[in-house]
Amino acid sequence: MFVSIRRHQKWLWFIIIAVIILSFVVFFSPTARFSGSGGREDMDLGTVDGEPIERRRFLETYRESLLSYLFRFGEWPAKDSMSRQNDYDADSETRNRLLLLRRVHDLGIRINDEGAAKWIANSQVFKDRQTGLFKQESYDMFVKNKLAEGGLAELDFHRFARNEGAIQHLVEVVSAGAKLISTGEGAALYRQENDLASVSFVHFSTSNFVASVAVTPDEIGKFYTNRMSLYRNQDRVQVGYVRFMATNYTVEAANLMAGDTNLSQQLDQIYLQRGVSFFVGPDGKQLSAPAAKEKIREEIKTEFALRAARRAAAGFAEELFAMTPVAIDNLEKLAAAKKMLPGITQPFDQRQGPTEFNVLESFINTAFKLTAEEPFSVPLLDHDSVFIIGLKGKIPSNIPPLETIRERVTADFIQSRTREAARKAGEEFAQAATNTLAQGKSFQDAASATKLIVKTPSPFSKTTRSLTDLDSNVDLQSLKSAAFKLQPGRVSGYLAGPDGGFVVYLRSIAPADEAVMKSELPKFMQNLQQRRQIQAFNDWFIKERELAKIESPGGKKTAQ
């Protein structure tokens, strides 16, 4: 690809620029990556139920999927560092939502503007914390700041609210049977979740065994040799770069805007597209049309500056690819001739990317495709810049010598040995405690015999979320899991945890307070019904996905 581009004439670079530079609205929209067709309605976006997905419908639903993520996690996925851990896939989420909305339509579920307004008013996001009532100020700030930050308009949010209300109604219809729970069944489940366990335990912290670990060169060497594969470095690459920042082209941007005869028409179009209520001033009041259009003008100026940066980068690339012979240091030579300051990244792997700046994945992927024969990239569009990068070197995957990572290996060795020592001591104590209890003695007696400290936290139930008197290095969830598997008067085996492990003794199980249960049972029943509805709906949706045969472009089935 890089060869064919380099061999073409200069006009090709300006075609590339023209393709990249869509309208301001598209560029700043979070749906920009789906708009590269220049507005074609016949672009392949896959199918649902065997029917092609319309571009307009896909883009609208994509925006709704972003809003759905925002309402679940409190941040836009592009800005949320946890989005990968939350397993968020925008394309898959969009197609799932498209299927849900088709089923909403199939069942004739309709939510009008009044229903959408009710959904918004009931959202916790817009409720006053003190009164629990809808707070207009919170809604206005959401529209002004959060929606604008995500590049969405109030119209997008109103459509999302309507469809979200319809989907919630779909959940009710599909999972109606799951709500049929008798009071007796609910009471039995309440008791299971709210019985109180009283335990004692002995914690075996790894820190207590550090002094017993003998650290010798021979032991470290053996440990390293047996685990060499764990220390392997990923393939890494180092690149030189020239960066064309949009902020360096504001003067040229102003000149480009002055020559755009359609600018006034674009301002009007964007103003109407976003809606008059989208534009508010610092005081929260709606801006006048002239003030709103001036705000749009400044935003477009930023886009023109980025356009100028692309144009400059294209010219630089044209000269770079014309230089012969092809040499890796041509990038620095050309930059020096133009009195530009090139940079060099530290070596980086494909998972982390450069540490010098936050770049798009296209930068990272391109860097790893560079070769000695084709060492330079085409202009790479980034958030506020355009990069041209050149290969400085590739560092193949390798296992570093022990001497270069001795400190790390030593720390791993000590951790491994202390965890093993804690496990051995814990298993021995568990057996000793079992024998001691069989002799009619107490758990405390077993601990005292080996000078171990017994800890007795407050009683807890399966629904307890925290204990103020439980050490932070003891995992409550593991403690609960162990306790409720035991019979009163019995001791567990050794249970490994984040810091060593522990042995638990279940002293007693106290039944849930009947008076408390009587007052809490209605709310518990409601929560139980919701949990079962969610499970029933998820089971239904999995089957619907299989029947719908959702396919992405090219006829590929999408991930579940």
pLDDT in tens, 379-416: 998 878 899 999 999 999 999 999 999 999 999 999 99
Q: Is the pLDDT of residue 369 over 70?
A: yes
Let me know: does 102 contact 111? Beta carbons within 8 Å. Answer: no
Rounded Cα distance, 257 and 271, in Å: 17
What six digits make up the tokens of 98? Answer: 């498209």
pLDDT at 432: 96
| Closest-CA residue to 102 (of 47, 153, 156) | 47
Which helix (H) or strand (E) segment is 137 a member of? helix 136-141
Q: Is the pLDDT of residue 428 over 70?
A: yes
Banded model confidence at residue 253, pLDDT cuts 50, 70, 90: confident
Q: What is the pLDDT of residues 123-182, one digit of tens each?
A: 888 888 888 888 888 888 888 888 877 878 888 899 999 999 999 999 999 998 888 889
Q: Is the pLDDT of residue 497 over 60?
A: yes
pLDDT at 7: 37
Instruction: Scan for tokens 């050794």, then name that residue.
Output: 494
Q: Is the pLDDT of residue 76 over 90?
A: no
Q: Is the pLDDT of residue 34 over 60?
A: no
pLDDT at 27: 33
Sequence spans of domains, the chain = 31-179+540-557, 196-231+403-510, 236-395
Which helix (H) or strand (E) segment is 98 a member of? helix 90-106
Instruction: Scan for tokens 């017993």, then name that residue.
Output: 212
Decide: helix, strand or coil at residue 260. Answer: coil
Helix axes 154-174, 113-122, angle to 10 degrees: 90
What number of helices (H) and strands (E) belong to the chain? 20, 12
Instruction: Scan for tokens 């629904």, then name that residue.
Output: 463
Long-range contact pairs involving 441-444 (C-beta distance under 8 Å, separation at least 24): 443/200, 443/491, 443/505, 443/507, 444/200
pLDDT at 374: 94
Q: What is the pLDDT of residues 516-539, one digit of tens each?
A: 999 999 999 988 988 899 999 999
Other C-beta atoms within 10 Å of 557: how many?
Answer: 11
What six digits make up the tokens of 188? Answer: 């039995």
Q: Read out DSSP for 280-347?
A: B-TTSPBPPHHHHHHHHHHHHHHHHHHHHHHHHHHHHHHHHHH-SS--TTHHHHHHHHTT---EEPPP
Rounded Cα distance, 405 and 224, in Å: 10
| Closest-CA residue to 63 (of 140, 139, 137, 163) | 163
Rounded Cα distance, 369 and 376, in Å: 10
Let me know: does 307 contact 14? Beta carbons within 8 Å. Answer: no
Rounded Cα distance, 536 and 539, in Å: 5
DSSP-derived letter for residue 147 is I
pLDDT at 81: 54
pTM: 0.58
Rounded Cα distance, 504 and 429, in Å: 11
Q: What is the pLDDT of residues 457-477, one digit of tens each?
A: 999 999 999 999 998 888 899
Q: Read out DSSP for 105-125?
A: HHTT----HHHHHHHHHH-GG
Banded model confidence at residue 557, pLDDT cuts 50, 70, 90: low
pLDDT at 555: 55
Rounded Cα distance, 416 and 223, in Å: 10
DSSP-derived letter for residue 87 is T
Let me know: does 435 contact 445? Beta carbons within 8 Å. Answer: no
Let me know: does 509 contact 207? Beta carbons within 8 Å. Answer: no
The winner for highest mean pLDDT among 18-22, 87-91, 360-364 is: 360-364
Task: Please state which of the ranges 28-37, 49-58, 102-111 shows the lowest mean pLDDT.
Answer: 28-37
What six digits make up the tokens of 425? Answer: 């001591």
Q: Is the pLDDT of residue 548 over 60?
A: yes
Between residues 507 and 362, which one has the greater pLDDT?
507
Average pLDDT score over residue span 221-225: 96
Whats the size of the chain, residue-wise? 560
The C-alpha torsion from 29 through 34 and 37 to 43, rounded to 10°, is -140
Decide: helix, strand or coil at residue 540. Answer: helix
Other C-beta atoms within 10 Å of 465: how many?
Answer: 7
Average per-residue pLDDT for the chain: 85
Bridge pairing between strands 348-349 and 380-381: unpaired
